[in-house]
Structure 1
Amino acid sequence: MLAEERQKQIMQDLYEFQSVKISDLIERLQVTRETVRKDLYELEEKGFIRKVHGGAVLNKSNIQTAYTNRKSVNEKEKRGIAKEAAAFVGEGDTVYIDYGTTALYLTQELMLHAKNLTIVTNSLAIANEVVDGSNFELILIGGNVRRNERSTVGPIATRTMHDLFVDIGFFSAGALHPTHGYTSVHLGEAEVSKLMLQHTHKHVMMIDYSKFGTVHMNRVAKIEEIERLITDEKANNSMLKEIEKKTKDVVIAKSSE
């Protein structure tokens, strides 16, 4: 097993159990104590974990906060991004909307202005919004529910998506870096996004300024794989210049009042 695969497995265990023991990892990964220590050292250097005696725990500063709490973080920027994103949707489109709070604001914009849409999503929050407030057709991707994000992930989700193809997809990620691309904390959500990127005719990434310059464990996409990025006026200018070299279209949204 490669180091990257081992470290992904360690992070998955940490997300599930909050802590890991070196002795358990040796048995689970079938490697030496020295190999496990090296993996933990590298994960700590990246800011993902904090080593403790005999094991490791998650670095709390690198964990996504609860969905309901995050809705109000950078809300003006997110709503501005959502408004710009909605302009790329045409009447009668089949639209994939990823998980995340910016995606929820996009859904609300579409409900106000768009017509005859079919919404495909793995977000329970977005599905509830569509059911309660619109006449859109809705396809909810099933799977294992991640409560923190109110999204569905796992093999059931990916099997469903293999047969779904949409006109346009709107995606998000927990981090954006000019070199490392779009990354996510959670492996399952990254896998869902990666698969749907392959099944969308046009794809749009929605990222507010606070995500710039950071890197999470799981890559969602390389910079050049996304044709359109929508961000806000506070985004780092030097990073934007690097991203613009590899992206077909970068849209700067004004913050919503």
Structure 2
Amino acid sequence: MFAEERQQRIAERARSQGRVDVTALAADFDVTTETIRRDLTALERQGVVRKVHGGAIPVERIGFEPGVATRDAVMTTEKERIGKAALAELPDEGAVLIDAGTTTARLAEIMPGDRELTVVTNAPLIATTLAGHAMTTVLMVGGKIRGRTMATVDDWALRALADTFVDVAFIGANGLSVDRGLTTPDTGEAAVKRAMIAAARRVVVLADHTKVGNDCLARFGSLADVDVLITDTGLDADAADELSAAGPRVVRA
């Protein structure tokens, strides 16, 4: 087994169990404890886990949220595939919302410039990416910029979204599950995401498979609120069927 594959399995186990133990992992994967410690160090550098005595805890379980640069370097190939698949959900013309996030940013990077679209976003980086499209009107949702995610939040953002109605909202999530629905670590961002769902005719969630099964602090919607979930092939067919039964059409890119 390659180190990358083992690390992915360790990350998935940490998220499902809430903690992983070095000794148990070494026995299960038939490697030395030093190898597992190196795996955990690599995962910690990626912002996936936080090392603790004897093992590690997934960052979602301890209220720690990786910054944009850290998240942008993780699951890059999967995020690019998700972004490409999301192009199929873009209208030929009309208005869309694009939530802040490293996966939604992949969609913005490859959006066609030959459609008459109005894009509303709470992400300065996404607004900058799309500002050069001659046929695209970009509306920036105001508010306080949250440094960790570079998203605008709080009352100014909520007031703007309350008077907004779009054809499609492309939304990111830190966690999603059948039991808890859509979640994120920050209550301010949860409020903005909730307002985005209310402002859209259709809701498309972009989330790689590592987000599935995670439950973060703040819930901002249920799977029944989602029309399409676009994830990657790391999500197995049984899990996809379970999510689909709760509401959304699931696309594994």
- State the TM-score, normalized to the length of structure 1: 0.71
Q: Secondary structure at the match of 1:117?
A: strand
Q: How does 1:1-257 map to 2 (within 5 A)?
A: 62-110=63-111, 112=112, 114-132=114-132, 135-253=135-253
Instruction: Label 1:140 to 1:171 Cα distance change in 2 as closer, same or farther (>3 A).
Output: same
Aligned length: 196
Instruction: Kindly provide the amino acid, as one letter, of the partner of residue 143 in structure 1.
Output: G
Contact 1:141 1:152 in 2 (8 A): yes
Contact 1:229 1:247 in 2 (8 A): no
Can you give the 5+ residue segments of structure 1 that lack an aligned partner in the other structure?
Answer: 1-57
Contact 1:169 1:204 in 2 (8 A): yes
Q: Choose 236-245 or 94-103, whichever is displaced more.
A: 236-245
Q: Secondary structure at the match of 1:87?
A: helix
**1-structure distance, mates of 2:73, 2:134:** 23
Q: Kindly report the root-mean-square deviation, in angstroms, between the aligned alpha carbons of the 2 structures.
A: 2.0
Q: 1:134: Cα distance to partner? A: 5.3
Contact 1:184 1:217 in 2 (8 A): yes
Contact 1:91 1:115 in 2 (8 A): yes
Instruction: Kindly provide the amino acid, as one letter, of the partner of residue 91 in structure 2.
Output: G
**2-structure distance, mates of 1:178, 1:191:** 20
Q: 1:167: Cα distance to partner? A: 0.8
Instruction: Kindly provide the amino acid, as one letter, of the partner of residue 161 in structure 2.
Output: M
**1-structure distance, mates of 2:98, 2:127:** 10
Q: Secondary structure at the match of 2:242?
A: helix
**2-structure distance, mates of 1:102, 1:93:** 22
**1-structure distance, mates of 2:82, 2:127:** 20
**1-structure distance, mates of 2:178, 2:114:** 33
Q: 1:100: Cα distance to partner? A: 0.4
Contact 2:182 2:223 in 1 (8 A): yes
Q: 1:244: Cα distance to partner? A: 1.2
Q: 1:94: Cα distance to partner? A: 0.6
The percentage of aligned residue pairs carrying the same residue is 29
Instruction: Kindly provide the amino acid, as one letter, of the partner of residue 75 in structure 1.
Output: T
